[in-house]
Amino acid sequence: MAKRRIRNLRALVRAFFGGARAREAERQAELGRLRFRDGQAIPHHIAFIMDGNGRWATSRHLPRSMGHRAGVEALRRVVRLCNDYHVPMLTVYAFSTENWGRPADEVSALMGLLWETIRTDVDRLNSEGVRLRHVGRLEGLDQDIQDAIHWMEDLTRNNDKLELNVCFNYGGRAELVDAVHEIIAAKIPPDQVTEETISSYLYTRDLPDPDLIVRTGGEMRLSNYLIWQAAYAEYYSTATLWPDFGEADLVAALDAYASRKRRFGKTDAQLAAESNAENGNDASPVEAAGDANPSRNGTYPQAARH
């Protein structure tokens, strides 16, 4: 009797770990598939609009603040996934300049959540090589939050395994207004103000533009998010609510990105010619354009983007 129980227990343990091994093998195969199939198709920089926390909470009869708390959990998961999938930079929209208009208890919950998350997660993220940046206006945030932001930025300044930018008290229009004020204060003559000048006065001056914007929660708008930087980003919207966003959702977004043609305002033939020139290949532009479009997998050099 006892022997049979032990046999059953062993079979159960084998089944459990065998299942976990199979799942891990499946996951590795999926990672391998993406890297192999898409080469450089993995976007360098994904910017997320983490929408749907409120609906997630309401559908469970929970206060909205619990949805935001579940949103932080999803963010932890997505940082891990981006690392697994070799996405080196992500930017998240955590609090917009317009969010000040939400009920006071929700605003205060979001402020508290940022402070708490910095306190609980930054040491671990630092030891994992993650660089953290704040993007947005510091002015208007409580002093303890500003101090926490300075601390996390200083601590992680030399990390380069993955870069996580948190847009907090961020608005795309406010960012442009701030940039114009600074340009005027710097007395730059109007005829010397170029697109590069403006980019260099944005909060994101040190960051590359996003390649892909992912919005959860099903809406199809930018909501004042990175409006200058997103000029040539690919856009992807999913009905999944942010707290539910997981590996399958990220893979779907990456697959969608890999299938897009990025032309940056040019024609297929021009881009094929540029790509051939880069690779030292002298095939005619027309011939090359008939080929699988090289822009489809995002392999264009950064220089071609501007």
CB-closest chain residue to ligand FPP: 54
Q: Which of 99, 159, 200, 224 is in the footprint of ligand FPP by CB under 6 A?
A: 99
Q: Does 90 bind ligand FPP (CB under 6 A)?
A: no
For residue 162, which of 84, 229, 93 has the smallest C-alpha distance?
A: 84
Q: Is 56 or 85 the residue whose CB approaches ligand FPP more closely?
A: 56
Q: Which stretch binds ligand FPP (CB under 6 A): 10-18, 71-79, 125-133, 254-262?
A: 71-79
Phi, psi of 236 (to 5 degrees): -140, 130
User: Which positions from 116 through 135 interact with ligand FPP, judged by CB under 6 A?
Assistant: 117
Phi, psi of 66 (to 5 degrees): -70, -30
For residue 156, which of 174, 133, 134, 176 has the smallest C-alpha distance?
A: 133
Q: Does 55 bind ligand FPP (CB under 6 A)?
A: yes
Q: Does 217 bind ligand FPP (CB under 6 A)?
A: yes
Q: Does 52 bind ligand FPP (CB under 6 A)?
A: yes
Question: N- to C-terminal Cα distance for the chain?
Answer: 75
CB-based burial of residue 263 (10 Å sphere; 0-12 exposed, 13-18 middle, 19+ buried)? Answer: middle
Q: Is 103 or 189 the residue whose CB approaches ligand FPP more closely?
A: 103
CA–CA distance, 302 with 299 (Å, rounded to integer): 9
Q: Is 53 or 229 the residue whose CB approaches ligand FPP more closely?
A: 53
Q: Does 86 bind ligand FPP (CB under 6 A)?
A: no
Q: Is 214 helix (H, G, I), strand (E, B) or coil?
A: strand
Distances (CA, A) of 35 to 43, 91, 251, 295: 11, 22, 12, 17
Contact of 67 with 55, CB cutoff 8 Å? yes
Q: Which of 31, 111, 113, 188 is in the footprint of ligand FPP by CB under 6 A?
A: 113
For residue 43, the minimal CB distance to ligand FPP (Å) is 20
Distances (CA, A) of 299 to 40, 149, 167, 171: 6, 35, 27, 30
Q: Does 54 bind ligand FPP (CB under 6 A)?
A: yes
Q: Does 275 bind ligand FPP (CB under 6 A)?
A: no
Q: Does 72 bind ligand FPP (CB under 6 A)?
A: yes
For residue 82, which of 254, 299, 295 has the smallest C-alpha distance?
A: 254
For residue 176, the minimal CB distance to ligand FPP (Å) is 21
Q: Does 71 bind ligand FPP (CB under 6 A)?
A: yes
**Does the annotation mark 99 as catalytic?**
yes
Which of the following is catalytic: 51, 121, 209, 268? 51
The set of catalytic residues is 51, 99
Positions in the binding site for ligand FPP (CB under 6 A): 50-55, 68, 71-72, 75, 94, 99, 113-114, 117, 166, 217, 242
